[in-house]
Chains A and B, each alone.
Chain A
């Protein structure tokens, strides 16, 4: 099983600050996804990155896939309390089943007003 390690595990910041969370592996992934999960709900897909070096922006969120397709980052600019939640990365195994995702353990973000 390919491991995805997320850091930090917990992050508590003030509204308006910037932050970056990381998702790292020693293995290569065909694609990588980022999800946001709120308490009592299922994860919601934010973005899928496929190409090494790819950068995608979703309003104040910027996602980057590493050149070697082993790592990814999520950067949030001017965080807001509504950004609070569990952020999960998930990777599709390179050369593996097209139906299995490996999830990281998540980064729990709290944005204080």
Chain B
């Protein structure tokens, strides 16, 4: 059982380049999330998808777009990367509402130079 799988694990981008972070879960979960983690800032919600076909903005959505491709997959796209988007990105999923156990992926380390 793989749980939540994120790719790539590491990526270096030049300012202005675009890229997509992929996330897939095999637990038949309804809700999926993208967070970023920065030193001294904790985890901050970028976007979430409460169920297949819906997406909503979180705390820090600017500069990002998301796609809930199907129930399993939730991707995060940076259209024009900026150094401020250097961070560790975590995908997470849960069966439904927050009181269910939330499972996190192992993280994607992104550096924008």
Interface of B with A (CB < 8 Å)?
A: 4, 31, 33, 35, 40-45, 48, 50, 56, 58-59, 90, 92, 97-99, 101-107
Interface of A with B (CB < 8 Å)?
A: 1, 31, 33, 40-45, 48, 50, 88, 90, 92, 97-101, 103-106
Task: Decide if the interface of chain B is mainly helix, strand, loop or mixed.
Answer: strand
Q: Is the CB of B59 within 8 A of A42?
A: no
Task: Decide if the interface of chain A is mainly helix, strand, loop or mixed.
Answer: loop
The answer to whether residues A31 and B98 also contact, given A99-B50, A104-B42 and a CB cut-off of 8 A, is yes
User: Across the interface, which residues of A come within 8 angstroms of B58, CB to CB?
Assistant: 100
Cα–Cα distance between A99 and B51 once the two chains are bound (Å): 10
Beta-carbon nearest neighbor of A45 in chain B: B101
User: Across the interface, which residues of A come within 8 angstroms of B90, CB to CB?
Assistant: 42-43
